[in-house]
């Protein structure tokens, strides 16, 4: 998807809400039926398998080319599965990934795949149906769950459904959103959304080549249910990343987060859970926390927490950590426990290393905050080696850098579909694997630590008062253990005069021992009152500049 979350969105919506509704068939726009939003949302959800999972987002075109044509493919991913997870829990040289999200893998005319031509065919550039099925089978052998992008808001103009709709075919006319005349209003971020067709104007919130499906049409919904069943039962995937869910059903100029959208998703949720209660969905609702949380539980299992992601990046950049601390508090107060997706950046955003000015240490701090955080983590491919990339979109989706000693960076033996990033001789898997203090090895260690401890996967979270805005301080814990995470984002050391840890509800027994996971040796033990009060705890006389500490509390 093209990025669209900008500061003027809400002003524009307020101005345009007075506009009339739209008729999905050919004719004048008419007001849509007003449906009340859900009156209650789940506040306490049972953890699912996804709460024990670390996901890895893969752009198939850019991950690994197996046949030398310069385009990544399913067989290439299969070749590299042992890098993600070799299936042997006794080894630690794999990344430890237990779930992969494949960006669009269906037939499409574009390089990115978000404009689908055929939902029942895999992208021919990436291989065959048999190649895809083998990838899923090999992933499952290694304990890796597989979810795929399911693009339901829109299709390509080259999709046969739209071609028939555009030509006036009565069977497909109402599969898209049409108006006899141009209604004239703009989209959620001030963009054109009505485009001239053969007869009338069609609605497309993202661009003219991706017309929106009319999800109020029961025939369209039935077709989507068939597509969902196909991917679950014939393609053997474990769930879906649902693109652009806040735009599913428009109500005139109200084009996002409508009550109709919530109702449609509730029905979709009931359908996919009827196939298998273990089916998982993560929704992309690129908006603020208060609106995202409305989708959780009975619509999608989790949704991406964009505000928390940006706060991690802000804090890692420094010199103040309070952005992350404050947003984490808001997140904990609003969501069902652990039921949201955490990340740093994704395929629509400038890459972590570019945002942080190429500073690997700052990238390390961001990784620590994200991978010890509550929620379900998602890592964008190449993030673990510090790949760079700034928009346009193609340049934040560049080929994976496997090695630095050949022109194709180990991605391809041919000419890559887009040039490799300039930092590939230093930032690559082969080089960083041999460097104990590399970003890659930090990611490996953090993911394995999370995989090995339920307290980090689905445990509770306590935010501590650090006595300073320069430090991020949380405790992740369950009934058996706890992990104290301290991140000094400031370019100066934090001495005992500048920080101290306090809380009135320390949840762990006072006789627990402390072991160092990361940080200096010989930390001081905390003094905890019988009432659970912790005051002025200083595990070390000083915590070095732009560094982190992880302490393990255990019997």
Write phi, then psi, for 316 (nearest 5 degrees). -60, -35
pLDDT at 45: 80
**Tens digit of each residue's pLDDT (9 = 90 or more) over 362-379:** 999 999 999 999 999 999
- pLDDT band (50, 70, 90) for residue 451: very high
The H-or-E segment that residue 460 falls in is strand 460-463
Average pLDDT over every residue of 49-65: 98
pLDDT at 44: 66
Q: 494 versus 1: which is more confidently predicted?
A: 494
pLDDT at 242: 98
Catalytic pick among 65, 243, 250, 305? 243
pLDDT at 46: 82
- pLDDT band (50, 70, 90) for residue 383: very high
Distance (Å, rounded) from C-alpha 192 to C-alpha 179?
15
Structure tokens at 496: 């005992």
pLDDT at 142: 98
Which spans in 234-344 are helix H?
A: 259-275, 289-292, 306-317, 322-334
Q: Quick check: 241 and 284 in contact, CB under 8 A?
A: yes
**Tens digit of each residue's pLDDT (9 = 90 or more) over 306-330:** 999 999 999 999 999 999 999 999 9
Catalytic pick among 107, 166, 284, 384? 284
- pLDDT band (50, 70, 90) for residue 7: very low
Give the 3-state DSSP-derived string for 429-459, with helices as H, strands as E and coil as C: HHHHHCCCCCHHHHHHHHHHHHHHCHHHHCC
- Residue 439: which of 361, 527, 504 has the closest Cα? 361
Determine whether 243 is an active site residue.
yes
Does residue 24 carry a pLDDT above 50? no
On the question of a cis peptide bond just before residue 319, with omega within 30 degrees of 0, the verdict is yes
Distance (Å, rounded) from C-alpha 313 to C-alpha 308?
9
User: Alpha carbon of 80 to those of 77, 323, 406, 433: distances in Å?
Assistant: 5, 37, 18, 15
Structure tokens at 250: 């428009």
Q: Quick check: 441 and 36 in contact, CB under 8 A?
A: no
CA dihedral 491, 494, 498, 503 (to 10 degrees): 120
Weakest-pLDDT range from 6-15, 66-75, 215-224: 6-15
Give the 3-state DSSP-derived string for 315-375, with helices as H, strands as E and coil as C: HHHCCCCHHHHHHHHHHHHHCCCCCCEECCCCCCCCCHHHHCCCCHHHHHHHHHHHHCCCC
Q: Quick check: 7 and 263 in contact, CB under 8 A?
A: no
Does residue 297 carry a pLDDT above 50? yes
Q: 336 versus 28: which is more confidently predicted?
A: 336
pLDDT at 544: 97
- pLDDT band (50, 70, 90) for residue 20: very low
**Tens digit of each residue's pLDDT (9 = 90 or more) over 235-270:** 999 999 999 999 999 999 999 999 999 999 999 999
pLDDT at 12: 34
Rounded to the nearest integer, the mean pLDDT of the chain is 92
- Residue 147: which of 220, 54, 257, 34 has the closest Cα? 54
Does residue 3 carry a pLDDT above 50? no
Does residue 40 carry a pLDDT above 80? no
Angle, to 10 degrees, between the axis of helix 439-452 and the axis of helix 360-371?
10
Structure tokens at 33: 């039926």
Long-range contacts of 424-427 (CB under 8 A, 24+ apart): 427/353, 427/385, 427/386, 427/387, 427/388, 427/401
Sequence-distant (6+) residues with CB within 8 A of 445 are: 92
Burial (CB count <10 Å: 0-12, 13-18, 19+), residue 475 = buried
Write phi, then psi, for 8 (nearest 5 degrees). -90, 0
Angle at 234 between CA 113 and CA 280, to 5 degrees: 70
What region does 29 belong to: left with phi over 0, alpha with psi -120 to 50, or beta? beta
pLDDT at 293: 96
- pLDDT band (50, 70, 90) for residue 292: very high
pLDDT at 509: 95
**Tens digit of each residue's pLDDT (9 = 90 or more) over 64-83:** 999 999 999 999 999 999 99
Average pLDDT over every residue of 131-149: 98
Does residue 431 carry a pLDDT above 80? yes
Does residue 35 carry a pLDDT above 50? no
Q: 4 versus 447: which is more confidently predicted?
A: 447
Q: Quick check: 121 and 104 in contact, CB under 8 A?
A: no
Determine whether 511 is an active site residue.
no
Sequence-distant (6+) residues with CB within 8 A of 342 are: 305, 308, 309, 312, 370, 373, 374, 375, 376, 377, 378
pLDDT at 43: 56
- pLDDT band (50, 70, 90) for residue 2: very low
The H-or-E segment that residue 501 falls in is strand 501-503
pLDDT at 473: 98
Average pLDDT over every residue of 183-210: 96
Q: Quick check: 417 and 111 in contact, CB under 8 A?
A: yes
**Tens digit of each residue's pLDDT (9 = 90 or more) over 106-128:** 999 999 999 999 999 999 999 99
Does residue 36 carry a pLDDT above 80? no
């Amino acid at each position: 998807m093209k990025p669209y979350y900008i500061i003027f969105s809400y002003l524009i919506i307020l101005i345009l809400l007075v506009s009339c509704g739209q008729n999905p068939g050919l004719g004048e726009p008419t007001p849509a039926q007003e449906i009340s939003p859900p009156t209650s949302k789940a506040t306490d959800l049972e953890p699912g398998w996804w709460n024990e999972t670390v996901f890895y987002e893969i752009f198939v075109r850019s991950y690994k080319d197996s046949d030398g044509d310069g385009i990544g493919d399913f067989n290439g991913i299969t070749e590299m599965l042992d890098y993600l997870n070799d299936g042997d829990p006794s080894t630690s040289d794999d990344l430890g990934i237990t779930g992969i999200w494949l960006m669009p893998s269906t037939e499409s005319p574009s390089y990115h795949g978000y404009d689908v031509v055929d939902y029942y065919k895999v992208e021919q550039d990436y291989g065959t149906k048999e190649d895809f099925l083998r990838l899923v089978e090999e992933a499952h052998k290694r304990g890796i769950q597989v979810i795929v992008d399911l693009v339901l808001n829109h299709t390509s103009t080259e999709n046969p459904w739209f071609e028939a709709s555009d030509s006036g075919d009565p069977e497909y006319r109402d599969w898209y959103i049409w108006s006899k005349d141009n209604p004239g209003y703009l989209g959620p971020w001030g963009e054109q959304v009505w485009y001239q067709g053969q007869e009338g104007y069609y609605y497309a919130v993202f661009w003219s080549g991706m017309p929106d499906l009319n999800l109020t049409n029961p025939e369209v919904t039935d077709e989507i249910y068939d597509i969902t069943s196909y991917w679950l039962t014939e393609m053997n995937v474990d769930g879906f990343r649902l693109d652009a869910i806040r735009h599913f059903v428009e109500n005139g100029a109200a084009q996002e987060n409508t009550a109709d959208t919530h109702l449609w998703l509730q029905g979709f949720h009931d359908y996919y859970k009827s196939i298998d209660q273990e089916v998982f969905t993560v929704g992309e609702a690129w908006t603020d926390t208060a609106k995202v949380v409305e989708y959780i539980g009975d619509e999608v299992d989790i949704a991406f927490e964009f505000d928390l992601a940006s706060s991690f990046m802000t804090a890692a950049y420094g010199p103040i950590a309070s952005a992350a601390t404050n947003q984490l508090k808001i997140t904990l107060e609003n969501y069902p426990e652990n039921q949201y997706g955490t990340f740093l950046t994704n395929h629509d955003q400038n890459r972590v290393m570019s945002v942080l000015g190429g500073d690997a240490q700052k990238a390390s701090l961001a990784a620590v905050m994200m991978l010890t955080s509550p929620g379900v983590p998602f890592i964008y491919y190449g993030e673990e080696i510090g790949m760079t990339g700034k928009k346009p979109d193609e340049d934040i989706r560049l080929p994976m850098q496997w090695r630095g000693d050949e022109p194709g960076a180990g991605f391809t033996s041919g000419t890559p579909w887009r040039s490799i990033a300039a930092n590939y001789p230093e930032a690559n898997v082969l080089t960083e694997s041999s460097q104990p203090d590399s970003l890659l090895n930090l990611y490996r260690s953090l993911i394995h630590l999370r995989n090995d401890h339920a307290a980090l996967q689905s445990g509770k979270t306590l935010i501590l008062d650090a006595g300073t805005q320069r430090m991020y301080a949380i405790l992740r814990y369950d009934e058996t253990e706890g992990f104290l995470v301290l991140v000094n984002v400031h370019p100066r050391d934090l001495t005992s005069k500048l920080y101290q840890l306090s809380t009135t509800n320390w949840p762990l027994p006072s006789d627990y021992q402390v072991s160092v996971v990361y940080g200096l040796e010989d930390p001081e033990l905390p003094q905890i009152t019988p009432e659970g009060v912790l005051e002025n705890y200083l595990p070390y006389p000083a915590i070095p500049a732009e560094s982190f500490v992880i302490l393990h509390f255990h019997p």
